[in-house]
Amino acid sequence: PEEPRVVLTARGLGKDFAGFTAVNNVDLDVEHARIHALIGPNGAGKTTVFNLMTKFLQPTRGQITLLGQDITKTRPDRIARMGMVRSFQISAVFPHLTVLENIRVALQRPNRLATQFWLPLSALDRLNGRAEELIETFGLAEWTDTRAAELSYGRKRVLEIATTLALDPQVLLLDEPLAGMGLEDVRMVAGIIRELGKTRAVLMVEHNLSVVADICDHITVLQRGEIIASGSYATVSQDPRVRTAYMGT
Ligand code: ADP
């Protein structure tokens, strides 16, 4: 098997909000072709760590690297071009556009092609080919011409993840990708994330522990802003501190 390759790291990461320490001393190693979950009880600091990693928040302490480059001070809009994208909530999808149109918009955005009225035919071919490929990968072929507004909640989420994949990122960050979904959608989206995790690094915040157990290779457990356990699901779920944290103490 291939040697694991670390693509995203945090060292001594910390964030204070007006004197309150929300995150402290967090080290992370996110590896290529692995799915890494951040879990922990409410208020543990998961969202803050996620926003620090995506550069939506500036850390108070510590260092972050992406593909070997220090990104501690890099602005979030530059991160995508470096190969890391985050999923947004469903609002990132245009409800009045069809599945195909949403994907085409996403594909055109990074290239400045959107500002060009006339596309060379070769570029158009490439764009359509890539759009088809994404629609196929994400099992959306049946809904190609359906407006996003008419999709089920789970499929909207899938479309939203598909649009973030337009840039073909090496590192994908997902913020509670299964939140608010019914069982069927959870299964579908979890299956897609599992597939994505075979060819790129995924870092996700997720509450659904059975899915985390099922698809994640590495789990980091946070409590009160600090890491209390890290490793496989089997390892962290047996950790007494994790058990206590989840009992609500
Ligand atoms: P989680 O995502 O695990 O529920 P958060 O990262 O949202 O936890 O929050 C961690 C802690 O930081 C909480 O105590 C929360 O109240 C606090 N916090 C988060 N964001 C802010 C903010 N912008 N200003 C002040 N406190 C914040």
Distance 206 CA to ligand 1 centre (A): 16
Q: Are residues 198 and 247 in the same domain?
A: yes
Looking at residue 123, what is its pLDDT? 72
pLDDT above 80 for 27: yes
Question: 161 vs 31, which has greater pLDDT?
Answer: 31
Assigned token pair, 99 = 């599945």
Q: Which helix (H) or strand (E) holds 29?
A: strand 20-31
End position of a domain, from candidates 142, 168, 194: 168
Burial of 26 (0-12, 13-18, 19+ CB in 10 A): buried
The range of the structural domain enclosing residue 9 comes to 1-83+171-249
Q: Are residues 112 and 227 in the same domain?
A: no
Output the domain CATH number for residue 219: 3.40.50.300
Q: Are residues 118 and 17 in the same domain?
A: no
Q: State the pTM of this model.
A: 0.88
Distance 19 CA to ligand 1 centre (A): 13
Question: Long-range pairs for 136-141 at CB < 8 Å and ≥24 separation?
Answer: 137/162, 137/165, 137/195, 138/162, 138/192, 139/188, 139/192, 140/99
In a domain, 88, yes or no: no
Q: Are residues 54 and 154 in the same domain?
A: no
Looking at residue 80, what is its pLDDT? 83
Q: Give the number of domains in the chain.
A: 2
From 13, 20, 26, the mutation candidate for ligand 1 (largest count of ligand atoms within 8 A of CB) is 20
* Beta carbons within 10 angstroms of residue 35's beta carbon: 25
End position of a domain, from candidates 144, 168, 192: 168
Q: Are residues 5 and 31 in the same domain?
A: yes
Distance 21 CA to ligand 1 centre (A): 9
Average model confidence (pLDDT) for the chain?
89
pLDDT one-digit tens code per residue, 69-124: 999 999 888 888 889 988 865 557 899 999 999 999 888 865 544 444 556 667 77
Pocket of ligand 1 (CB under 6 A): 17, 20, 22, 40, 42-48
Closest CA to 143 of 178, 102, 196, 204: 102
